[in-house]
Amino acid sequence: MPKEKDGVVYTINLRRLYWGKRSNRAKRAVRAVREFVARHFGVEPEDVKIDNTVNNYLWSRSIEKPPARVQVYVTVKTESTEEGERKVAYVTLANVEDVEA
The pLDDT tens digits along the chain (101 residues) read 555 567 899 999 999 999 989 899 999 999 999 999 999 999 999 999 999 999 999 999 999 999 999 999 999 999 888 888 999 999 999 975 544 44
pTM of the model: 0.85
Share in percent of the chain as helix, strand, coil (round to 5): 40, 30, 35
Has domain 8-96 been given CATH number 3.10.129.10? Answer: no
- Residue-level pLDDT at 99: 46
Q: Where are the domains of the chain?
A: 8-96
Closest CA to 38 of 96, 100, 83, 91: 91
Q: Note the Cα 59 to chain centre separation in Å.
A: 13
Contact (Cβ atoms closer than 8 angstroms) between residue 64 and residue 25: yes
